[in-house]
Structure 1
């Protein structure tokens, strides 16, 4: 289950259960107020300081700027749990087809969200390295909550981190890329909405109009030098947003294709327990005759980090690259796919997405294969 970021978060954060319980008791709609955020921040800081004191001095991070972003990840994790722990797992072959399918002109009106909050897992994308620092995109949280923009949070995974080591949330903190997409205009294209979102994100961090309040202040009868770091922090945040944007746009291709897929091809999604789920517990669950017994076993599985997953793409036939006599794969390229927002029904008033799938063109075959339409 460590493939999925929500489980990595649960394993590494000592406060994970505490904040979920706080949400369930105080934030039923999943939208925290400023007062709630202050309380959550206090919980996280308390655990952070407790865990920090256990580490040797040389392992303590010199830069704690990422800690300020931890609250956002914590909120996203808690809302994910509150809304049902729904995960969509996209198989590698399907993910590759998504990478080769254009989505820029898909209107936001065509997007339908299966849940208010859920996680999409694409597996590590080794060419999508945010900020070129070894943070590889592997999935995304999607939050479509009433009254708020569509929130997309790219999760990342590192190759050099042991996620079973529970100190890594301090020594190797998570990094993510966040954008809020304004989808009020149903006819706006994805490309327009995303470019607009970057502009808004940069504006939200602009504090150039605020004064530098560094100086000497009298506190409890003593003169204390205070450094106002907001301008430097804002510049770093803006730099992160700009530098990571191209990777975000490429990763968004996975997200939007994933949304189109789960909207249009629900019959090809299979909900099941992951392969690594303890077989003994699954047998007990299958053989349980009482609802109370089944609930108890499910609770035990949840406490161990196991949940049913929506597997996508296991029935799609895979393109096979032929081998030449040397045993090497013949180089190939893709003819790109796209989504057709097709009219149908009485008076052609309704719309449905039809996937014109990408085609793998093999150089040894000369002419490309005939394309095909993937119909729901």
Structure 2
């Protein structure tokens, strides 16, 4: 499937919610170490609610959402776009054949500290999307914002590695006034705190669940404040009602439904980060087809760095930026495993199947104290017996790595 850079989530969201462009321009310089200041985030909230109310006025009553959940979600996404812009607007997309192999790779006991992120904040996209989606309207998961930053006033608190999983609606496109409301795309946010270099993905997830960082339970203190506020308003004579489910409770129910899928996607994303840690080649920058050709030409061919930077800045302000392909080449001998012997079969006749891959933490460096990740890739056993029961086969050409 051909990849279209225009379809990547950051650019798609900016087209759907154009007000986010002004938010990013205003707040990008207020995002330090990947985090918005409290005042900056409040400005994002105010701008998002203003845009939501203006869009809502253009929708007929029967199409208006019953809650402000979509507004809250769009504001959260806009905040991640600000961090994405502050981090350099870096995007990497994974070809479908690489995604398929990573999906058949066990993460095992790989430490999160073994992963080397190419950028502090970037977007990692899956070409064509995955075959699974998040709860809600029809969608497929198409990538995630990956964010790493130190915390605390002096950057002295345990660092965080966060994943903001995105999805693409499959029942669109939605156009016209309020399209970003009607075409809301679900997401899932998983902030992980790294307490020690030996943390594994499962350990960090277990801790995030225990601390309720992934929001599987409604915050009891927030619920208590909400109920107290409603009660005080009623005592003052205001006819305020309390919904059957508060926003906190709706969020928790959504996260509970999304978590089983999100957990598998998090493992896939961590496998992708492991692959990036091996420093594979990245393809040449690809610009969206909708980007102004004259500006792209200046970025690619101008003779002075200043002209190239100016043109790239103008493209970024309009919501366009380059995307790079993860160019991990598969050699024929590495990708064709139909004749591989399975040591556990002992001569038994078996159907074609995939033997899962894994990662090896190879010692290296002074005194062999450092670790380098080596990908032991999945192999297809007994392809001569037909197609495997699960998974796709991709034709690859023999290339030198």
TM-score norm. by structure 1 comes to 0.84
SS of residue in 2 equivalent to 1:146 = strand
SS of residue in 2 equivalent to 1:129 = coil
Stretches of structure 2 lacking an aligned partner (at least 5 in a row): 152-158, 339-350, 389-399
SS of residue in 2 equivalent to 1:227 = coil
Alignment of 1:16-95 (within 5 A): 16-95=20-99
The match for 1:326 is none
The match for 2:207 is 196
The match for 2:346 is none
Q: Report the alpha carbon displacement of residue 95 of structure 1 after superposing the two structures with TM.
A: 0.6
Structure 1 CA distance for aligned equivalents of residues 293 and 304 of structure 2? 19
Cα-to-partner distance string for 1:228-276 (whole Å, 9 max, x where unaligned): 459633322222222111111111122111111111133x222412473
Structure-2 change in CA distance of 1:269 and 1:287 (3 Å): closer
Q: Is the 8 A contact 1:11 1:164 kept in 2?
A: no
Q: Report the alpha carbon displacement of residue 334 of structure 1 after superposing the two structures with TM.
A: 1.6
Following TM superposition, where does structure 1 have runs of at least 4 consecutive aligned residues deviating by more than 6 angstroms?
none
Q: Report the alpha carbon displacement of residue 140 of structure 1 after superposing the two structures with TM.
A: 0.4
The yes-or-no answer on 1:177 pairing with 2:193 is no
The match for 1:360 is 380
The yes-or-no answer on 1:149 pairing with 2:149 is no
Structure-2 change in CA distance of 1:284 and 1:70 (3 Å): closer
Cα-to-partner distance string for 1:66-113 (whole Å, 9 max, x where unaligned): 322322211101110111100011011101011001114211220122
Structure 1 CA distance for aligned equivalents of residues 7 and 76 of structure 2? 21
Stretches of structure 1 lacking an aligned partner (at least 5 in a row): 323-330, 369-374
The match for 2:219 is 206
Structure 1 CA distance for aligned equivalents of residues 245 and 295 of structure 2? 53
1:123 to 122, 127, 130: 127
Cα-to-partner distance string for 1:138-166 (whole Å, 9 max, x where unaligned): 10001101115211110011111216656
Structure-2 change in CA distance of 1:163 and 1:293 (3 Å): farther
The match for 2:371 is 351
- The answer to which of 305-314 and 107-116 deviates more is 305-314
The match for 1:335 is 355
Structure-2 change in CA distance of 1:37 and 1:72 (3 Å): same
1:236 to 246, 250, 274: 250
Structure-2 change in CA distance of 1:218 and 1:57 (3 Å): closer
Q: Is the 8 A contact 1:217 1:224 kept in 2?
A: yes
Q: Is the 8 A contact 1:273 1:309 kept in 2?
A: yes
1:159 to 148, 170, 182: 170
Cα-to-partner distance string for 1:290-332 (whole Å, 9 max, x where unaligned): 344333432343345432222113522475799xxxxxxxx95
TM-score norm. by structure 2 comes to 0.79
SS of residue in 2 equivalent to 1:141 = strand
Structure 2 CA distance for aligned equivalents of residues 166 and 105 of structure 1? 49
Cα-to-partner distance string for 1:184-207 (whole Å, 9 max, x where unaligned): 221122122123223322476331
Q: Report the alpha carbon displacement of residue 59 of structure 1 after superposing the two structures with TM.
A: 2.7
Structure 1 CA distance for aligned equivalents of residues 175 and 316 of structure 2? 17
The match for 2:15 is 11
Q: Is the 8 A contact 1:104 1:191 kept in 2?
A: no
The match for 1:217 is 233
Structure 2 CA distance for aligned equivalents of residues 275 and 8 of structure 1? 11
SS of residue in 2 equivalent to 1:226 = coil
Cα-to-partner distance string for 1:13-57 (whole Å, 9 max, x where unaligned): 132122112213434444223333222211111111112212233
SS of residue in 1 equivalent to 2:325 = strand
Structure-2 change in CA distance of 1:320 and 1:64 (3 Å): farther
Structure 1 CA distance for aligned equivalents of residues 217 and 166 of structure 2? 21
Q: Report the alpha carbon displacement of residue 210 of structure 1 after superposing the two structures with TM.
A: 2.6
Q: Is the 8 A contact 1:12 1:166 kept in 2?
A: no
SS of residue in 1 equivalent to 2:164 = strand
Cα-to-partner distance string for 1:202-221 (whole Å, 9 max, x where unaligned): 476331783733447369xx
The yes-or-no answer on 1:247 pairing with 2:251 is no
Structure 2 CA distance for aligned equivalents of residues 125 and 286 of structure 1? 29
Structure 1 CA distance for aligned equivalents of residues 82 and 121 of structure 2? 10
Q: Is the 8 A contact 1:119 1:139 kept in 2?
A: yes
Structure-2 change in CA distance of 1:284 and 1:344 (3 Å): closer
Q: How many residues are paired up? A: 358
Structure-2 change in CA distance of 1:102 and 1:182 (3 Å): same
